[in-house]
Structure 1
């Protein structure tokens, strides 16, 4: 399956108390030619001042749906345990309509303990959080079928993570996009495991788009050779410097036909 190389931006909504700066950064990224703009689903900064400025994920996605015209939008990734799954499906369907069919539903099991503790969620264990995500995924996809009006399209589901026993089986069953973390060798190893999980279900693994963080111009082509066609540049506040994003977009445009 031939795919077009796509560049995403993860605009991390932290350390910038003036939302207008975030809004304008989204516009600058769209004008620069980015394909996707993600935020993340946390309640506190992940680096810098731990009590610094931070904004919520899904209300922000609704605003981005209105202010943008071309790019896809989503969270990299939604914390699976933070919201009732049927409600999350309804939220996603609504943002899908507001955006005219440009939402990606990125989801994972969650991991940042402060989010859970401060907002009253049960942190549990890594295994229990993944079990909860496994329980929620069929409820999300089922709710999509019941909503009136339905989504404007099949909302692509992005699952982030690479655990071989629990996460990759969920990727094989539900994901349209798999976002892997870690070094190149780790991705290669996990990709082979994912192919086996897909085979167990009778699914072609090539149906799943492969995604990872932007590795830089000098390494990106090697990742493409392993089937990765979506790269995401992460930037945080307060300044939101788009230099690495512009570099990645230029590489994408120069690499047309590589994938």
Structure 2
């Protein structure tokens, strides 16, 4: 009996088949598909944040397709196939969970996390790369900043407390302000990046996820804009006709409406 995953692999192979397949799928490569893979991962996260399990089921299917797509292209090159991908993750999970598959000792979540990090460090040590060389360059910028900082913190390159980070935030803000006032926009861009990087460091010291925090702000902003649009439309107005005072009133009404919805 054909399983759903086998059926998916068969469909993907047919789509990539030069004889009767889909011209678009055939034309793709790892590089052209990678942006879709990232996009699908974010759509999975979005479905989770919205608490929509029907959408989550569909988005997980779309993400699974990305894995199958990449595996099919690799199989065509003779590099690896889907079974190799599944085998590799199975071996990794068993290797990183000795408390389950080896000695059987019960540990707290904190102890398990420590063992996990130790095993990952051992795995990295077997590679000839530097400390940060395996941190993917195409991660979202806030995520990559946190990972770079965390990796360096493991070898002692870190602020001892949040006070030091806050002082650095003030310093970077001052340097950004000076660059802007001087009209040095190239320098301002670099200083702005330094400020963001330091803010991510501050979030890390506070135990916060900078990327999640910004996603939350984006979501709140989008919700308020929709409230504004509805209110302005209900009053017979148009968003592009509002003056500064009308914008402020609409924004405050949107904040109030949002607070009432979440109360």
* Greater strand fraction, Structure 1 or Structure 2: 1
Greater relative contact order, per chain length (Cα 8 Å cut-off, separation 6+): 1
- Tell me whether the two structures share a fold, i.e. TM-score over 0.5: no
TM-score relative to the length of structure 1: 0.25
TM-score normalised by length of structure 2: 0.25
Say which structure is richer in helix. Answer: 2
Larger Rg: 2
